Amino acid sequence: MNNSTIRIGVLGELGVGKSELVHRICHPADIAPAMVSGVAGPTVDVCEYERPNGNESVWIEFLIIPSETRHPRSRQMLYSIGLDALFIVCNCALPKTFLRAAEWLEEAKEAVRPLNIPVALILGGPVAMDWTENTGIVAMVEPLSNVYQAKVLDLSGYTSAPSLSVKQRCLLSDFYEEITHRKFDSSTDN
């Protein structure tokens, strides 16, 4: 076992479920919802990710970046701490959350030149659904996915379920493995 760490920034509209998602990832045994972080500032939570090879684990630090701040440039400072990936959390039931996602991705791109870290577009919301069957959601997701090379992770329904499903955990695990491989294994691939 090693104690390597990856850091994921979590962005999304106020009230979209950023804290709830991170709480469910880091504390899977808890059935109570997470405390709402509000706009007080960034919050951090940590979990251990056991890699599929079974003989090592990685710590994942989730930095929940507030969507609303008193100072417009305050989020840019958070990008400079060395993020290894970004989660952009959207609510499938609220189209405005996708519009703001484009703004935050542009902001991150401006702060981290070039934006060469993996980005996951997290599709959340209270109802589990197949987003590919909803033309309105497809019209919002595809441009974000294509322009920012974001991986789409359908976690819809996580805010109303007692815990993340096996399928949702597998999607997250695949993304963590991509980040971990990129950060720690890519130098040994040559």
Averaged pLDDT, 163-170:
91
Q: What is the pLDDT of residue 54?
A: 76
Q: What is the pLDDT of residue 150?
A: 92
Given a cut of 70, whether residue 140 has pLDDT beyond it is yes
CB burial readout 161-190, b (16+ within 10 A) else e: eeebeeebeebbeebbbebbeebeeeeeee
Residue % of the chain over a pLDDT of 90: 35
Measured CA to CA, the distance from residue 119 to residue 148 in angstroms comes to 8
Averaged pLDDT, 116-145:
90
Q: Position 73: which residue type?
A: R
Q: Which is more confidently placed, 164 or 66?
A: 164
Least confident of 76-85, 97-106, 157-166: 76-85
Residue % of the chain over a pLDDT of 70: 82
Measured CA to CA, the distance from residue 27 to residue 60 in angstroms comes to 13
**Paired strand residues for 49:** 58
| Biggest alpha carbon–alpha carbon distance for the chain | 46
Averaged pLDDT, 112-122:
81
pLDDT one-digit tens code per residue, 21-54: 999 999 887 765 555 555 456 788 999 999 887 7
Given a cut of 90, whether residue 141 has pLDDT beyond it is yes
Least confident of 49-53, 158-162, 172-176, 185-189: 185-189
Which element (helix H / strand E) includes 89? Answer: strand 85-91
Q: What is the pLDDT of residue 166?
A: 92
Q: Given 3-state DSSP classes, what are the helix, strand and coil percentages for the chain, each rounded to the nearest 5?
A: 35, 20, 40
> How many CB atoms are closer than 10 A to CB 17?
25
